[in-house]
Structure 1
Amino acid sequence: MTDHLDDRAPGHLSDTPDDPRDDRRDLDLLRAADPVSATEGPWRDRPLNAVAERGLNQLLHRTRTRRARRRVLLWAEAAAVALAAVLALTLPDLGAASATAAPSALHPRAGSAAVPLGLLVERAAAAARDGEPALRKGARVQTWSLALDSGPDADRPVTLPEEREVRWRPDGSRTERVSSDGKLLSTRVYPPSWSDVPPQARPPHTAAALRAYLTDGFDGGVARRADPLTTQEILEFLPSLLETWTLGARESAALVELLADTGGLRPAGAVTDRLGRSGQAYVLDSPGEHLRYMLILDPANGEALGLEQTFTKDQPDFAVEAGDVMEYNAWRR
């Protein structure tokens, strides 16, 4: 299991002291994240694997971010002002291009040609023949996530944008910089990690080996499961993998081949992602959870550009409507 430090980790920019009322709000948010049902819904019960651990740590981070943003919204006294600021989001500190944190789901362009996943496997394999670009440990990812309230008086969720840059050193230590709304939120330095469990372990560059690797990561490296990973499980593990590694051409080709072999993704046509890049959309529906996954791949080489999770059914307890984006990840080189 990957290592996680508290807010006193070296290099962390400390937050201001918390109000006890904020702690109670944090507990309310954590309770709200508990599954509504043990068998269905996006928060259903699961073992605490690597994906669940990542989600828990993101939730803990978002509660701190949300407290600060609530104060801003109250001070502004207008949600429209906050939305306008989000729509004009620019992150110059990390050298990123302008990005729009739109709350609506992305849609493939009408009438655009859909590239079959099998054809993309061939293109990715051809692009990977010279092995360039190579695999690199470290990542740059931009995320847009819903901050949810719960209960009958819950407010409509606000989309929170964030950019994270992870740089690794030869000794295994790493620095993580987190920005939001164009402001640097924190810089944290983590000591060397001795974990050999995915995503810390080096990902392989063949489809068969990558399947075993992702299985180990999804199950926390505890025991090898008998049944193969589903496409949904592969997609759920991708954010953890791509927050640690920037895949090379061979690893990207292996991922596309694995997804094609597993099946379930349907080509949906060309789409422009939230960073303005052209890609091909591949969609998977999860009716039991009322979610739709849209994976965006580079049509030339199969590189993963983004992953969007969208609600397909209203969730009144969280003031969520069908079509709301629960989370979006955009990966950059």
Structure 2
Amino acid sequence: MADELELELLRRADPVPADGPHFGDGPLNHRAERHLDELLHRRPSPRTAWRSVPRVRPPHLAARGHRARLAWGLVAAAVVSTVTLTLVVSGPGTPPAVAAPRPLVVQADSTSVPLKLLADRAEAAAADGSPSLSKGTHVQSWSMGMSEDKPPITLPEERVVRWHADDSHTEVVVATDPRHPGRPVLSDADDSPHLVEDGHVISRQTYPPSWSDAPPESPPPHDVAQLRAYLQEAAYRHTRPSTNELLDAVGLLLDNWTLGARESATLARLLADTEGLRPVGRVTDRLGRGGQAYVYKGAGFRRMLIMDPATGAVLGLESTATVAEPEFGLEAGDVMEYSAWMR
């Protein structure tokens, strides 16, 4: 039944008539290619990402063996920065689980910086155009997988994507947790959670040149209105995205591009005009970097955007549950996904 459902989804993704010239063995048209890519790689919202059974796996891992190019939607989650990572073994033959992660904590009595002021700072910092935009990404992520019959697990990984002169790109994924250097790391690279050595290479793949010039593979624009349209298209939205959907699209962008000063300034200005993002103060992210935090609260979840206070660059994005899901062992306050982007 699952195979039949998947085939039906693929048929719907390519709505070419039976007598069409490309039916059967021809290439997908542009719209069909976009829909197929969405089916394979689209990142779920933080409210629904952990509800699948059996145990949820981040889409960028589940689809890696089947995609022809980089899956830009990276699902991530975090472990608490103030508590040591604890492995719990429930019994013989039971995979290790990770203690429930906690959210980043805003520094007491810290001064919050309004997003409009941060955007002004970013524009001033971008006056000389340095650093410049580059294609590719370097991201540390912590992702939680959950199921009804097993305790939650948190999977720390580092992913580096580099593009080459011929427009091909190489992706390397490593199991590592920078907060606990040298310690064994939990991984489910073989579909069964187990401990591996710190720095264990989960995958190393080179992908051929991509033909697509659609967002997020095309360079992001420097105009705020154009960037909003770019992010809307990157997230496969037919209407103006909500704040939550916009934050998803920002993650897609940063999983594709390492933004330069001008691009970071444009993104900061766009976020400053976004409804519902509230400044809450200063935090130290999971890589030890200081940043300003901006929070958006939705139905059952909270998202925290961490930005460099001087340049406006996005450092990280955290999603936290605010409603318990007892059937999955999820408690209110548990962090479900976290990404930390680096240059």
CA distance in 2, matches of 1:216, 1:277: 31
CA distance in 1, matches of 2:96, 2:231: 42
Task: Using the aligned pairs only, state the percent identity.
Answer: 51
TM-score where L is the length of structure 1: 0.69
CA distance in 1, matches of 2:258, 2:250: 11
Report what 1:112 is aligned to: 110
Q: 123, 145, 148: which is aligned to 1:125? A: 123
CA displacement at 1:58 relative to structure 2: 3.6
Residue 298 (1) aligns with residue 308 (2): yes
CA displacement at 1:208 relative to structure 2: 1.3
Partner SS for 1:262: coil
Q: 160, 164, 175: which is aligned to 1:165? A: 160
Superposed CA offset, 1:161-215 (max 9, x none): 0100000011110000000032111110100011112111111122111111111
Report what 2:275 is aligned to: 263
Instruction: Confirm or deny: 8 A CA contact 1:264 1:284 kept in the other structure.
Output: yes
Q: Structure 1 76/204 Cα, relative in aligned 2: closer, same or farther at 3 Å? A: farther
| Amino acid in structure 1 at the alignment position of 2:221 | P
Q: Structure 1 83/291 Cα, relative in aligned 2: closer, same or farther at 3 Å? A: closer
Residue 318 (1) aligns with residue 328 (2): yes
Q: Structure 1 262/81 Cα, relative in aligned 2: closer, same or farther at 3 Å? A: closer
CA distance in 2, matches of 1:130, 1:77: 60
| Amino acid in structure 2 at the alignment position of 1:272 | T
Q: How does 1:93-108 map to 2 (within 5 A)?
A: 103-108=101-106
CA distance in 2, matches of 1:44, 1:161: 16
Which region of structure 1 is more displaced relative to structure 2, 234-243 or 109-118? Answer: 234-243
Residue 253 (1) aligns with residue 251 (2): no
Alignment length, in residue pairs?
252
Superposed CA offset, 1:140-180 (max 9, x none): 00110101112xxx333111101000000111100000000
Instruction: Confirm or deny: 8 A CA contact 1:145 1:325 kept in the other structure.
Output: no
Structure 1: stretches of 5+ with no match in the other structure: 1-34, 46-53, 63-71, 85-101
Residue 216 (1) aligns with residue 233 (2): yes
Partner SS for 2:311: coil
Report what 2:173 is aligned to: 178
Q: 288, 294, 304: which is aligned to 1:282? A: 294
Q: Structure 1 40/308 Cα, relative in aligned 2: closer, same or farther at 3 Å? A: closer
| Amino acid in structure 1 at the alignment position of 2:59 | L
Residue 144 (1) aligns with residue 142 (2): yes
Instruction: Confirm or deny: 8 A CA contact 1:298 1:304 kept in the other structure.
Output: yes
TM-score where L is the length of structure 2: 0.67
